[in-house]
Chains A and B, each alone.
Chain A
């Protein structure tokens, strides 16, 4: 690899790692809560009947 490619490598990977780590963490923390279990969904239907 030429010197400029080595320099590019040394700059790209730490920057990419930082951006992806930040994006991944945000995506993990901010994901919506799981769907309620099916039993809880049936309750209003039972009440309606």
Chain B
């Protein structure tokens, strides 16, 4: 949480996360280069650059695959939440590795005094009409531009400036970038390298990412389909004790937006399911130190009124709740953010 903007809010966890991340990337690049170097000893500087192009390209693809798997994995199992915590640094590092890959490719052409060939390849409009023979570097370049946009706007300043809904929509362009990267490899190196490893890497990587997203996307459908309204238009959330202590039951309002109904001992309150930070799923979080805690980045709010504890200023929309005939009911019309609405139950 923040009361102002700082370049990076370092803490011990973030430092450990970044150290492990950088070490893993360095180990991968070194191992890839050494193994490839031994199997195919380079005969020239251009050959050596080619090995680094392959190493950084493979690393960028695998990193993108991991990044895109973290979100749905964290929805499926809370064990993956620590990976989500500092995902933006993972994304920025992926952009840097991908940018190095592109820079090495230009360096390779410069080494062979063949930069005009590169320009000719990228500007030959006729080849853009072909499928096999399509300038695959253009696909990689387009993906790199998307990664740059994501990295440049990853800071909380841009999140606050654009507002979470616009920022989240913008960052969904990463999915398109991943598709572009798969086709960049399929129409590029896969065309002239006969190894099975490349198609296997693409099938496994894209299959896992797409499968995870499709599964998690369909998981919450029952919440939106199962809206049970009382004659007065309130939502029945179930008996109080059926809501797990210090956790929530997520219900859907008639329009489809979700409401998180939390219970903390004998106190029950309802707030929007959207965290004020990045629209994270608050209802999948827990009550820690008396506050609703977002599972994504740990933003906290009081159950009583949806306000972040001082000195923080974020506020959530709350909902009226009542206990009727042993059932907790929620009024789906939101109250102004920060309105006290939680109730005590016997």
Complex Cα gap A31–B192 (Å): 8
Complex Cα gap A10–B175 (Å): 12
What does the 1/0 interface line of B182-194 toward A look like (CB < 8 Å)? 1100110011101
Q: Say yes or no: is B4 at the interface (Cβ < 8 Å to chain A).
A: no
Q: Say yes or no: is A17 at the interface (Cβ < 8 Å to chain B).
A: yes
Complex Cα gap A34–B193 (Å): 8
Complex Cα gap A27–B218 (Å): 30
Contact B218 A10 (CB under 8 A): yes
Q: Say yes or no: is A45 at the interface (Cβ < 8 Å to chain B).
A: no
On A, residues with C-beta under 8 Å from B are 1-6, 8-10, 12-14, 16-17, 19-20, 23-24, 26-28, 30-32, 34
Task: Please provide the chain B residues from 108 to 124 with a CB less than 8 Å away from any CB of chain A in the complex.
Answer: none
Residues A27 and B186 in contact in the complex (CB < 8 Å), given A5-B165, A14-B214? yes
Contact A17 B210 (CB under 8 A): yes
Q: Say yes or no: is B256 at the interface (Cβ < 8 Å to chain A).
A: yes
Residues A28 and B186 in contact in the complex (CB < 8 Å), given A13-B210, A16-B175? yes
Complex Cα gap A40–B318 (Å): 77
Contact B175 A28 (CB under 8 A): no
Number of interface residues of B (CB under 8 A): 36
Complex Cα gap A16–B257 (Å): 25
Complex Cα gap A44–B255 (Å): 75
Complex Cα gap A17–B209 (Å): 9
Nearest-Cβ distance from residue A29 to partner chain B, whole angstroms? 10
Contact B217 A2 (CB under 8 A): no
List of B residues within 8 angstroms of A27 by Cβ? 131-132, 183, 186-187, 190-191
Contact A20 B217 (CB under 8 A): no
Residues A20 and B182 in contact in the complex (CB < 8 Å), given A2-B257, A5-B168, A10-B217? yes
List of B residues within 8 angstroms of A10 by Cβ? 217-218
On B, residues with C-beta under 8 Å from A are 131-132, 165, 168-169, 172, 175-176, 178-179, 182-183, 186-187, 190-192, 194, 199, 202-203, 206, 210, 213-214, 217-218, 220, 224, 255-258, 274, 279, 281
Nearest-Cβ distance from residue A43 to partner chain B, whole angstroms? 22
Complex Cα gap A27–B165 (Å): 36
Complex Cα gap A23–B181 (Å): 12
Contact B257 A9 (CB under 8 A): no
Nearest-Cβ distance from residue B254 to partner chain A, whole angstroms? 11
Indicate which residue in B191, B199, B214, B258 contacts A32 across the interface (CB closer than 8 Å).
B191
Contact A20 B206 (CB under 8 A): yes
Q: Closest 4 CB pairs between A and B?
A: A27-B186, A3-B256, A17-B210, A13-B213
Nearest-Cβ distance from residue A46 to partner chain B, whole angstroms? 25
Complex Cα gap A9–B210 (Å): 11
Nearest-Cβ distance from residue B73 to partner chain A, whole angstroms? 15
